[in-house]
Amino acid sequence: MTFTLPPLDFRSDTVTRPDETMRAAMASAEVGDNVLERDPTVQALEERAAHVLGMPAALWVPSGTMANLVALSLHLQRGDRFLATRGAHVLSNELGSAAWLAGGMPDVLEHDGGPGRPSPDTLAAAIGQPGPYFTLRTSLLCLENTHNAAGGAVTPPDEHAQLLSVAKEAGLTVHLDGARLWQAAVALEVPPAALTVGVDTVSACFSKGLGAPVGSVVAGSVAFVERARRMRQMLGGGVRQGGVLAAACLVALDRIPELADSHENAQRLAEGLTEYGWATNVPDTNIVLAQVPDIPTALAWLDSLGIRAVPMAGKVRFVTHRDLSATDVEEALRRIKTGAR
Ligand SMILES: *Cc1c(COP(=O)(O)O)cnc(C)c1O
């Protein structure tokens, strides 16, 4: 019988599991029926998340996908065009719900401002000029920070401000997909609220690299969150004793500074891969994208070495997270260098 170690799992930072501290917080959470009234722990989380994100109010939802769908459903009317960056989660990873449920007509912005973002000129050109009643109306801009398919790329506050100013000048609503906004804030050494300036709504995840099993928020004005609560109910996202889950999200919020470790590990992984002849991005945060001649071959080879990764945007994606240590990264690099487990 051969003994095999569990694989080193670089597929996503969503594979992180709640540890003892988080499970203890979940076990002792004060709860209520969050549909009939407000569950006290969900309410505490929503208030704290709104504050951290610099928004007036926030709503807990089970997933980042639902957070985006709630926001887009409220922002878009059938026949509206919305703009999102190439490879954005709302375009590539939500099975078209922005179109078939929220009713928007997507259009793609290229990343000519830097990884994960258009230039202000490209944005202005895409918005175009208002036309007569029979022309498409561009009503919404979706930004993503960090940008997943661009390799966890960070949009800095000054560039964010320029894009916001173009969008707002043209009367667009702006939604920020901030599933990994925490990672961007840690990389830039700014508070998360510094990255939401001017947006109408923002979504953020607690289940990406922070160890929470479930949970995201969508934040915006008080009036938006009131409507969002109805939309969440419509989508089947009314969770009863949600405090058990919100307790985990509160612990996750305490752990934001610890994301710096996974950013360092991603740097090391990219350096090591580059040394062994792989072409990778220089990661801003915790995502390394590697260009390979053939993705299935590369993934199968990595798998044979007990290293798990996924395809993303025509590359192989490695994500570092709190359940992979610096030693695990060195071990992965050793296996890649030697081609042996
Ligand atoms: C993961 C992710 C989401 C959605 O998250 P789920 O909780 O898995 O639904 C949204 N946007 C981006 C950029 C993401 O990476």
Mean pLDDT on 45-59: 98
Task: Give the pLDDT confidence score for residue 5 in this predicted structure.
Answer: 75
Q: Is the pLDDT of residue 216 over 60?
A: yes
Question: What pLDDT digit, counting tens, does each position of 17-36 carry?
Answer: 999 999 999 999 999 999 99
Task: Give the pLDDT confidence score for residue 231 in this predicted structure.
Answer: 98
Of 186, 179, 90, 188, give the one whose Cα is nearest residue 140: 90
Atom from ligand 1 closest to the CA of residue 12: 1
Q: Is the pLDDT of residue 246 over 80?
A: yes
pLDDT cut 90: percent of the chain above it:
96
Mean pLDDT on 279-283: 97
Distance CA 165, CA 127 (A): 13
Amino acid identity, position 64: G
Mean pLDDT on 84-113: 97
Mean pLDDT on 97-126: 97
Mean pLDDT on 150-162: 98
Q: What domains can be seen in the chain, in order of their start residue?
A: 20-254 (3.40.640.10), 258-339 (3.90.1150.10)
Atom from ligand 1 closest to the CA of residue 144: 13
Compute the distance from residue 71 Cα to the ligand 1 centre, in Å: 14
Atom 5 in ligand 1: residue holding the nearest Cα:
64
Give, in order, the Cα–Cα distances in Å from 161 to each of 116, 155, 165, 183. 15, 10, 6, 19
Asked whether 179 lines ligand 1 (CB < 6 A), one says yes
Q: What is the mean pLDDT of the chain?
A: 97
Confidence label for 3 from pLDDT (cuts 50, 70 and 90): low
pLDDT cut 70: percent of the chain above it:
99
Mean pLDDT on 107-112: 98
Mean pLDDT on 64-85: 97
Of 11, 65, 144, which is best to mutate to test ligand 1, by the most ligand atoms within 8 angstroms of its C-beta?
65
Of 208, 210, 235, 285, which is best to mutate to test ligand 1, by the most ligand atoms within 8 angstroms of its C-beta?
208
Asked whether 89 lines ligand 1 (CB < 6 A), one says yes
Atom from ligand 1 closest to the CA of residue 65: 9
Compute the distance from residue 138 Cα to the ligand 1 centre, in Å: 24
Length of the chain equals 341
The pTM assigned to this predicted structure is 0.97
Asked whether 148 lines ligand 1 (CB < 6 A), one says yes
Question: What pLDDT digit, counting tens, does each position of 295-323 carry?
Answer: 999 999 999 999 999 999 999 999 999 99
Asked whether 221 lines ligand 1 (CB < 6 A), one says no
Q: Is the pLDDT of residue 4 over 90?
A: no
Atom from ligand 1 closest to the CA of residue 208: 1
Compute the distance from residue 250 Cα to the ligand 1 centre, in Å: 19
Distance CA 283, CA 9 (A): 18
Distance CA 286, CA 2 (A): 33
Q: Is the pLDDT of residue 253 over 70?
A: yes
Confidence label for 126 from pLDDT (cuts 50, 70 and 90): very high
Give, in order, the Cα–Cα distances in Å from 239 to each of 25, 62, 97, 194. 18, 8, 21, 31
Atom from ligand 1 closest to the CA of residue 68: 10
Task: Give the pLDDT confidence score for residue 341 in this predicted structure.
Answer: 85
> Among the listed ranges 80-84, 133-137, 290-294, which one has the minimum average pLDDT value?
133-137
Asked whether 64 lines ligand 1 (CB < 6 A), one says yes
Compute the distance from residue 205 Cα to the ligand 1 centre, in Å: 7
- In the block, tokens 């490695």 appear at 318
Atom from ligand 1 closest to the CA of residue 62: 7
